[in-house]
Amino acid sequence: MTPLHGPGGTTGEPADLLPSGYRAGEWAVSELIGVGGWSTVYAARPSGRTGGPARPAEVALKVMPTAGLAPRQARRIVESAHREVELGRRTGHPRLIGLIESFVLRAPDRPSLDGAIVLVMERAARSLRELLDAGVPEADRGRLIEGICEGLAHLHRSGWVHADLKPENVLLGRDGSVKLSDFGLATELTGTHGYAPPLGTLDYLPPERWKAPLGALGVQVRPSADIWALGIVIHEVFASGTSPFAGATPVARGAAVQEYGEGRAPLRMDHAVPPFWRDLAADCLAPTHEARAEHTADSLLGRIAAGQPTRRSRGARPHGRARTALLAVALCATAGATLSGEAPRKEAFRPTGELTVFNAERRCQDRTDRDLHCSLGLAIDPTRPYTPGNVVPTRVWHGDVLTAECQLPHGLPIVDEDDLRSTRWFRVRLPSGSAPAGWLPAVRTKDRPPLPNCPYPTAP
């Protein structure tokens, strides 16, 4: 999606635009946001009569006309829309732009738009591309990348590949929240790879894509293609929007990507990129799929959570890539389900259970010196990413016995060093004088005391 150039957008404007105030389904068009290859996006509001309680005040309408197209062209559009709807239906997540509904436009008065597919989506404030053009504030950079990574981690764990990750498709809410969008090329994996239409954005294609054969199902894509694109985006965010690959045009940069991929040129990143992020981007930009495959969105997210240079001094870390601990991953779509079922327990009845802390790191199990490197954290909020900002000051060690008050079955999934994964968290009491409670991920203990479910935590 390309934003219009300047107010009015005079270049090559398609003739068939919906005027402000036009009623499309239950929505009233307010203004044009952008024009893409096959679609036009408008801002819209619920039209008067039907403003139900669940209706957002403002949405984006993606209109994909099919009229006048040859059947095969129309099919391309329908397939693209189908992908978006399917993905929206199956894998909703706070880091993906939400699909509210989709419908076919009935507009007998506008033959060119009659039959267009309309996707009704969350409205974002702007795209990362616009932010890059304006200049990304330094304090926001890490958070932006983390947000993109959370979205990718969720997509990949749900078995999808985005296949067109670029700053245009990373949208930012008015509250600064990061959401991935445009799933027109997104592909569900069968086994280790999926197939996407032979489309892409030159600046974000991994080296192997330049030689990929075209098969009956399209071109093969794997999650590592998204990881490559993430590496480019990391560099862009930290280096004023420039690609790590030199060249005046996307084609020239594409040629530089191939030279690098074939080992004829080194990776040269801008020194404006801080060392932590440069390491991360370099791993994302490993030249082959095989070398990139070990760097999954989950593992990158874990490194970001563990290593954000804002909280710790980099020099103190034993190794730049110490995968300290928990791989923080994104919130399960089912998390909301616990909300309805739980009534808060009465204060008087408070069963408790004892938990012995378990550290999967073998070399920490025998130590009793409470070395900081063997300590484990407790989360403040088990539904938010397990970042340094979301950890109580109190640390715990292997063998400590904690008192748990209740459990949360569907918090943020946590994976430990042995790849055990659990979404369960225990709320544990802390020594008086510190925070009222902390949350221990269930992978950090072998005990499963019978405990009531906790009330679903509300955002602090």
By CB under 8 A, name the binding residues for other proteins: 2, 5, 11-12, 35-38, 70, 72-73, 76, 129, 164, 166-168, 185, 197-203, 205, 209-216, 218-219, 247, 249-252, 254-256, 258-259, 262, 264-265
Kindly tell me which of 13 and 290 has the beta carbon lying closer to other proteins. Answer: 13
Instruction: Pick the closer one to other proteins by CB: 229 or 335.
Output: 229
User: Closest approach of Cβ 185 to other proteins, in Å?
Assistant: 7
Beta carbon of residue 249, minimum distance to other proteins (angstroms, whole number):
7
- Quote the least distance from Cβ 259 to other proteins, whole Å: 4
Contacts of 40 (CB under 8 A, 6+ apart): 14, 17, 18, 32, 34, 62, 63, 65
| Residues 213, 218, 219: CA angle, nearest 5 degrees | 45
User: Across-strand partners of 445?
Assistant: 357
Contact 154, 93 (CB under 8 A): yes
Q: In whole angstroms, how far apart are CA 120 and each of 15, 41, 193, 255, 356? A: 22, 10, 29, 38, 49
Please choose, from the candidates 452, 377, 352, the residue with its C-alpha nearest in 3D space to the C-alpha of residue 408: 452
In whole angstroms, the minimum distance from the beta carbon of 136 to other proteins comes to 16
CB of 430 to other proteins, least distance (A): 49
φ, ψ dihedrals at 380, nearest 5°: -80, -40
The residue (of 92 and 218) whose beta carbon lies closer to other proteins is: 218
Closest CB to other proteins among 4 and 430? Answer: 4
At 234, list the tokens: 């990391």
Least distance to other proteins from the beta carbon of 152, Å?
Answer: 18
Q: Is 95 helix (H, G, I), strand (E, B) or coil?
A: coil
Instruction: Between 167 and 385, name the residue whose CB sits nearer to other proteins.
Output: 167
Q: Of the two residues 76 and 345, which places its CB atom closer to other proteins in the complex? A: 76
Question: Given the structure tokens 């926001």, which residue do they identify?
Answer: 140
- CA 114 to chain CA centroid, nearest Å: 34
* 206 or 457: CB nearest other proteins: 206
Which residues neighbour 175 within 8 Å (Cβ) at sequence distance 6 or greater? none
Q: How far is the CB of 234 from other proteins (least distance, A)?
A: 17
Beta carbons within 8 Å of 65's beta carbon, 6+ residues apart: 16, 39, 40, 77, 112, 113, 115, 116
- CB-CB contact of 444 with 357 (8 Å): yes
Nearest distance, CB of residue 191 and other proteins, angstroms: 17
Closest CA to 136 of 235, 219, 8, 33: 235
Helix axes 275-284, 138-157, angle to 10 degrees: 30
| Minimum gap (Å) between residue 36 Cβ and other proteins | 8
Largest Cα–Cα distance in the chain? 78
Distance between CA atoms of residues 324 and 327, nearest Å: 9
User: C-alpha distances in angstroms, 381 versus 347, 412, 426, 445?
Assistant: 21, 9, 11, 18
Q: Which is nearer to other proteins, 75 or 323 (CB)?
A: 75
CB nearer to other proteins: pick between 212 and 282: 212
CB of 222 to other proteins, least distance (A): 16
* Residue 214 or 339 having the CB closest to other proteins: 214
Nearer to other proteins by Cβ, of 168 and 283: the residue is 168
State the Cα–Cα distance between residues 428 and 320, nearest whole angstrom: 31
Sign of CA dihedral 14, 16, 18, 23: negative
Q: How far is the CB of 182 from other proteins (least distance, A)?
A: 9
